[in-house]
Structure 1
Amino acid sequence: MLIAAYDWLRAFHILAVIAWMAGLLYLPRLYVYHCEAIPGGELDKTLKLQERRLLKVIMNPAMIVAWLFGLALVWANMERACGWSIFLQWGWVAKFLLVFAMTGLHHVFSARFKRFEAGTNDWPHTRYRMLNEIPFVFAIAIVLIAVVALA
């Protein structure tokens, strides 16, 4: 049944991943600027509002939708391939591990938001600058695996 809607599932999955990735790339950049803001100052308040909206309105829903459509695609691939054996290939295992890692990074960013909200951030801006690059590295690997290895 899902195989008939496969292209629609894939399209919505890609759109959700784009929104999620935009947030994963932008939020740590906001944290870099937030490290330099004076606590309680105007910039601090503005960044807290931007971070909250980005996380709660864009990133969290996009991550959930990406996962739901991704799991629907897994189910559709099972219908097409007649079982779970297709997912024992190294490409699927690697892709799932990278997606779990990206989800973990999302939760790290969410936990750091709570630290900024409480005024207890203890990481320097340089750590956020480094973390800013990781989602793109994950995305490159995931796309290459999905398009080249699993095609």
Structure 2
Amino acid sequence: MRAEAHPPRDGSTPAHTTMTNCHWRCELNKISKIRNIRRRQQNDVCYYCRQPIWHREISDFASRHGITTKKATLLKATAEHLVPRSECGSDALHNIVAACWFCNSTRHRAKQPLSPDAYGMKVRARLAKGRWHGFVARSEPR
């Protein structure tokens, strides 16, 4: 029987695993709680780009920050593992930060992902030149 280290990214349930669906839900629930703790500790801004992030009510968020809901989708809060699970990173509070969907997904597309600090510097430099999300959300809500 083949054991899966993590749930499939496509949302499907693996046919043969050592963890039950309940275990997967418990793990995801734990990570969601940690993400929300980190999001509050970071004052609702992305760890990398320092743009505001949201976890509920996309329409309200978009309106408050003067962006479309399509652009707001890029700023959805996600749990970012500083040391990826694929490199034996844990699901512990010290290893998870809140990052916008765009920064989180872009960091892991690289062949050799940068360290969290180096990636943050790269992101903020590109954002300052208008070459990251393609927009800057207003930091002060209306």
Q: Please, what TM-score do these two structures have when normalized by structure 1?
A: 0.29
Structure (1 or 2) with the greater helix fraction: 1
Structure (1 or 2) with the greater strand fraction: 2
Whichever of the two has the greater Rg, that structure is 1
Q: Please, what TM-score do these two structures have when normalized by structure 2?
A: 0.30
Q: Which has the higher contact order (CA 8 A, sep 6+)?
A: 1
